[in-house]
């Protein structure tokens, strides 16, 4: 090819690289206009439906006073004596604290408690229904704002917060705020109790230990008292000492009485010994067992009487019974003496001298007195013995008391000290509780929530946002689609990516104009009627002429005899372009043969409405001397067609055979131009085989369908072939080529 021809070809491809860059975005949006429009309409439609379904919103609010409490004793003095700097620092601390209080009101912990309270009336309510979704605080149904005091009084210690809630149900807005009011009130009490628990942590931790010590010490003291059956050993020891003194005094009196009784008994016994009769009677009575038994019984009665007199008074029934018993025993003793006298008379003894109460010269009163003295003496002896035993017992018991008193004196102070410690801790707990209760924050309801009021529905906002966001979303979708699909939309983009000569750009030819193609093609030659009737399926466009001229200029002055049209993938318009080039060549008075070499997906016969029972496949397997002209079908005086024919079993074998080469060479001799409609280069190996048989190869790329990656793959294959250029098909605007 000469330089002049190359420059001439470049003039036919007049295009500006800058124009491509500027029009790239517009081209993408134009090709994806339906996608952009569809997404915009979908967004607007959804917004319209949401606007129709949107319910009116209602809002209810309440006001809460958050006041800071100071210790009345200490806090006021500190505030009064604080410097200006200190007051500013305290103010800053208060601001931070109130900010924390505001965040606490919308915390998930407190709102969840309100949700639990609302569940009986609203079973499906959730935390997000009140607080809103995470990260969408601006759209939260619940809003807490701080209201500045109008008077400016106590701004440091008091702040007012307005709690507002929005919902489509006006009653629900009120109930939610009422639930929050209950939660805030309960939290205020819980927070105060928590402050008390933290402030009284040491006291509360110490109280169980002290109570345990008190219980243990009291149990030890009670165990001591139960063990020894004592309440107070000191008091009991004093009582025992007093009892011992009384017993010793009684013992001394008893011994004194015994001495007196013994003296009287001795004196009476001397009197009785002075009388013989007394001796006789005494002898006889001493020999009488009954008399001796009666004396013993009388002595026992006297002893019992003496012992009971120590315990009871004279009017006691027991004392009276013993006295009567003694009188009865004395009467029996007198009868025994009478019986002894009778016995003496029957034995011729000297007659008893019983006269006026005398027995043989012995006064019975003396005898009775002696008996009484003996009885009293025995009672006193028994009493002395019991008193001695009681004295020994008391002394033995008192010997134990020093150790008991010592142990008691050890246990009693321990109980007192532990009780005193417990009392002090309880007083401290009460005092600290009052102090802590006067500090911290207090939440008070100033304005109760009422039924929600109407605040709008947001329909206009939805529609306005959809009108703005719909087109934007459509454009972004189109651009993203382009990024991920890398589709080519312009001929200039095709030329840059393939680094090929752009032979031309063909627009999308509408079906409704196909019936007039031949008329436009040959109207200046006045052959319109014959052409239309001959082949109504031939396409025509003025750009076909431009493409044909560019192809001829590429190899000027020697024209191409055979051209193969292929594409990266199927469906890019190779067949239509082949027929269009055939029409342009016929326009230039060239005889053209169009061969359909796409055995798997032939389409030439469908476009031209020709039979396909015979064609190239049968011609290749025909071993007879049948002429090629017998398989060719004329569609125009200057245009013939060789259809693909029935699909063969092994297309590669047929295309690579010598027969195929002979047919191509024969057709090149017969026709001015042979156009071969080959399969896509990336689909089948058929196109590569046919490329070796042709003088030139033309790549067809459909704009809006072919991708950059597909072109790169095809370009690697074409590097080894005679690729003369590319044709941009389906261009939606006039392209400068």
Segments making up each domain of the chain, as ranges: 4-14+486-731, 32-53+457-484, 57-202+434-453, 235-407
> Lowest mean pLDDT: which of 169-183, 238-252, 335-349?
335-349
Q: Is 65 helix (H, G, I), strand (E, B) or coil?
A: strand
Which residue in 277, 371, 385 sits closest to 327, CA to CA? Answer: 371
274 or 325: which leads in pLDDT: 325
pLDDT band at 556 (very low <50, low <70, confident <90, very high): low
Residue with tokens 């067949």: 575
In the predicted structure, residue 469 carries a pLDDT above the cut 70 = yes
Tell me what the mean pLDDT of segment 331-353 comes to. Answer: 64
pLDDT at 540: 74
Q: In whole angstroms, how far apart are CA 550 and each of 402, 559, 594, 677?
A: 140, 11, 19, 19
Residue with tokens 């001929």: 491
Tell me what the mean pLDDT of segment 501-514 comes to. Answer: 70
In the predicted structure, residue 480 carries a pLDDT above the cut 50 = yes
158-167 and 362-363 strand pairing: unpaired
DSSP assignment of 596-620 equals E--SSS--HHHHHT---SSSHHHHH
Estimate to the nearest angstrom the gap between the alpha carbon of 340 and the chain centroid.
Answer: 119
Beta bridge partners of 359: 362
Give the span between the Cα atoms of 215 and 33, in whole angstroms.
Answer: 91
CB 382, CB 306: distance < 8 Å:
yes
In the predicted structure, residue 348 carries a pLDDT above the cut 60 = no
Phi, psi of 320 (to 5 degrees): -65, -40
Q: Is 595 helix (H, G, I), strand (E, B) or coil?
A: strand
H/E stretch holding 456 reads: strand 453-456
Tell me what the mean pLDDT of segment 328-336 comes to. Answer: 80
pLDDT band at 571 (very low <50, low <70, confident <90, very high): confident
Burial level of 384, CB count in 10 A (0-12/13-18/19+)? middle
Q: pLDDT of 527-550, one tens digit each?
A: 433 333 345 567 877 888 888 888
In the predicted structure, residue 357 carries a pLDDT above the cut 50 = no
The alpha-helical segments, DSSP class H, found in 106-161 are: 108-118, 127-131
CB 726, CB 500: distance < 8 Å:
yes
Angle between helices 364-398 and 317-346 (to 10 degrees): 140
Burial level of 227, CB count in 10 A (0-12/13-18/19+)? exposed
Q: Is 719 helix (H, G, I), strand (E, B) or coil?
A: coil
CB 477, CB 36: distance < 8 Å:
yes
pLDDT band at 93 (very low <50, low <70, confident <90, very high): very low
Q: What average pLDDT does the structure give for the chain?
A: 76
Those residues whose C-beta lies under 8 Å from the C-beta of residue 307, and which sit 6 or more positions away, are 379, 382, 383, 386
In the predicted structure, residue 716 carries a pLDDT above the cut 50 = yes
Which residue in 540, 512, 536, 440 sits closest to 191, CA to CA? Answer: 440
Range with top average pLDDT, 67-76, 107-116, 313-322: 107-116
pLDDT band at 260 (very low <50, low <70, confident <90, very high): confident
Q: pLDDT of 133-150, one tens digit each?
A: 776 666 788 888 888 654
Which residue in 307, 289, 287, 309 sits closest to 297, CA to CA? Answer: 289
Give the span between the Cα atoms of 436 and 72, in whole angstroms.
Answer: 11
Range with top average pLDDT, 16-20, 240-244, 262-266, 540-544: 240-244
Which residue in 447, 452, 454, 451 sits closest to 62, CA to CA? Answer: 447
H/E stretch holding 717 reads: helix 708-718
Q: Measured over all CA atoms, what is the biggest interatomic distance in the chain, rounded to whole angstroms?
A: 216
pLDDT at 286: 64
The alpha-helical segments, DSSP class H, found in 347-458 are: 364-398, 401-437
Tell me what the mean pLDDT of segment 477-501 comes to. Answer: 78
Q: pLDDT of 583-632, one tens digit each?
A: 999 988 899 999 999 988 899 999 888 999 989 989 888 877 778 888 99
Q: pLDDT of 30-61, one tens digit each?
A: 767 777 888 888 888 888 887 777 778 888 88
Does the domain formed by 4-14+486-731 have CATH 3.90.550.10?
Answer: no
Tell me what the mean pLDDT of segment 467-483 comes to. Answer: 80
- The DSSP code for 474 is H
pTM of the predicted model, to two decimals?
Answer: 0.44
Residue with tokens 């934007």: 472
Structure tokens at 243: 């009892």
Q: In whole angstroms, how far apart are CA 496 and each of 31, 543, 573, 698?
A: 19, 21, 21, 16
562-567 and 723-731 strand pairing: unpaired
Phi, psi of 650 (to 5 degrees): -130, 90
Handedness of CA 426, 427, 430, 433 (dihedral sign): negative
Beta bridge partners of 144: 163
Q: Which residues of 36-71 are buried (b: 16+ CB within 10 A; e: fewer)?
A: beebbeebbeebeeebeebeebbbbbbbbbbebeee
Which residue in 459, 436, 565 sits closest to 503, CA to CA? Answer: 565
453-456 and 57-69 strand pairing: antiparallel
Handedness of CA 404, 410, 413, 417 (dihedral sign): negative
Phi, psi of 492 (to 5 degrees): -60, -40
Number of helices followed by number of strands (H, E) in the chain: 27, 15
Structure tokens at 419: 């009780």
CB 633, CB 594: distance < 8 Å:
no
pLDDT at 611: 92
CB 94, CB 156: distance < 8 Å:
yes
Those residues whose C-beta lies under 8 Å from the C-beta of residue 272, and which sit 6 or more positions away, are 278, 279, 282, 362, 366, 367, 370
Give the span between the Cα atoms of 674 and 666, in whole angstroms.
Answer: 10
- The DSSP code for 510 is -
Give the span between the Cα atoms of 145 and 161, in whole angstroms.
Answer: 6
Burial level of 201, CB count in 10 A (0-12/13-18/19+)? exposed
Structure tokens at 673: 């131009």
């Amino acid at each position: 090819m000469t330089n002049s021809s190359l420059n001439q070809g470049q003039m036919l491809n007049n295009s500006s690289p800058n124009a491509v860059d500027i029009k790239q975005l517009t081209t993408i949006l134009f090709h994806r206009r339906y996608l952009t429009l569809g997404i915009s309409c979908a967004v607007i439609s959804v917004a319209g439906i949401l606007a129709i379904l949107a319910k009116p919103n209602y809002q209810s609010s309440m006001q809460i006073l958050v006041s800071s409490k100071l210790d009345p004793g200490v806090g006021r003095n500190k505030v009064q004596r604080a410097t200006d700097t200190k007051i500013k620092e305290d103010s800053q601390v208060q601001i931070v604290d109130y900010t924390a209080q505001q965040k606490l009101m919308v915390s998930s912990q407190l709102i969840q408690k309100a949700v639990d309270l609302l569940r009986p009336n609203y079973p499906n309510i959730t935390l997000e229904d009140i607080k809103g979704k995470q990260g969408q605080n601006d759209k939260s149904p619940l809003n807490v704002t701080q209201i500045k005091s109008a008077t400016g009084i106590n701004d440091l210690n008091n702040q007012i917060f307005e709690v507002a809630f929005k919902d489509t149900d006006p009653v629900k807005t009120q109930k939610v705020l009422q639930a929050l009011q209950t939660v805030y009130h309960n939290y205020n009490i819980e927070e105060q109790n928590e402050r008390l628990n933290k402030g009284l942590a040491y006291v509360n931790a110490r109280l169980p230990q002290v109570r345990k010590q008190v219980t243990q010490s009291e149990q030890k003291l009670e165990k001591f008292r139960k063990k020894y059956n004592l309440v107070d050993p000191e008091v009991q020891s004093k009582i025992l000492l007093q009892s011992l003194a009384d017993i010793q005094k009684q013992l001394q009196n008893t011994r004194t009485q015994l001495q007196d009784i013994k003296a009287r008994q001795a004196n009476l016994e001397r009197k009785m010994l002075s009388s013989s009769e007394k001796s006789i009677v005494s002898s006889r009575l001493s020999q009488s067992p009954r008399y001796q038994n009666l004396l013993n019984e009388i002595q026992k009665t006297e002893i019992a009487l003496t012992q009971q007199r120590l315990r009871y008074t004279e009017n006691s029934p027991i004392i009276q019974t013993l006295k009567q018993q003694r009188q009865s025993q004395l009467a029996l003793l007198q009868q025994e003496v009478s019986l002894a006298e009778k016995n003496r008379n029957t034995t011729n003894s000297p007659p008893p001298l019983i006269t006026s109460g005398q027995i043989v010269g012995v006064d019975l009163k003396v005898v009775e007195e002696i008996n009484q003295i003996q009885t009293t003496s025995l009672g006193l002896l028994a009493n002395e013995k019991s008193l001695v035993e009681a004295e020994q017992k008391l002394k033995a018991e008192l010997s134990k008391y020093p150790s008991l008193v010592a142990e008691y004196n050890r246990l009693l102070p321990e109980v007192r000290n532990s009780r005193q410690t417990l009392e002090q801790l309880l007083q401290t707990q009460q005092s600290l509780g009052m102090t802590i209760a006067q500090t911290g924050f207090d939440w008070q309801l100033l304005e109760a929530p009422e039924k929600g009021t109407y605040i709008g529905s947001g329909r206009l906002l939805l529609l306005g946002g959809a009108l703005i966001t719909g087109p934007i979303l459509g454009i972004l979708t189109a651009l993203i689609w382009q990024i991920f699909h890398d589709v080519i939309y312009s001929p200039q983009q095709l030329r840059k990516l393939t680094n090929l000569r752009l032979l031309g750009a063909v627009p999308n030819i509408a079906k409704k104009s196909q019936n007039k193609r031949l008329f436009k093609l040959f109207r200046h030659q006045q052959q319109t009627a014959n052409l239309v009737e001959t082949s109504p399926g031939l396409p025509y466009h003025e750009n076909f002429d431009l493409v044909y001229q560019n192809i001829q200029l590429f190899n000027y002055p020697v024209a191409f005899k055979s051209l193969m049209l292929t594409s990266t993938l199927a469906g890019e318009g190779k067949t239509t372009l082949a027929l269009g080039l055939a029409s342009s060549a016929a326009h230039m008075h060239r005889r053209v043969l169009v061969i359909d070499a796409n055995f798997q997906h032939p389409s030439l016969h469908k476009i031209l409405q020709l039979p396909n029972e015979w064609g190239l496949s049968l011609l290749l397997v025909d071993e007879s001397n049948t002429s090629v002209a017998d398989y060719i079908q004329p569609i125009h005086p200057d245009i013939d067609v060789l259809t693909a024919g029935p699909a063969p079993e092994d297309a590669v074998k047929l295309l690579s055979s010598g027969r195929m080469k002979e047919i191509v060479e024969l057709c090149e001799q017969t026709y001015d131009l042979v156009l071969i409609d080959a399969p896509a280069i990336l689909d089948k190996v058929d196109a590569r085989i046919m490329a070796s048989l042709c003088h030139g190869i033309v790549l067809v790329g459909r704009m809006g369908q072919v991708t950059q990656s597909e072109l790169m793959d095809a370009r690697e294959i074409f590097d080894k072939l005679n690729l003369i250029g590319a044709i941009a098909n389906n261009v939606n605007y006039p392209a400068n080529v």
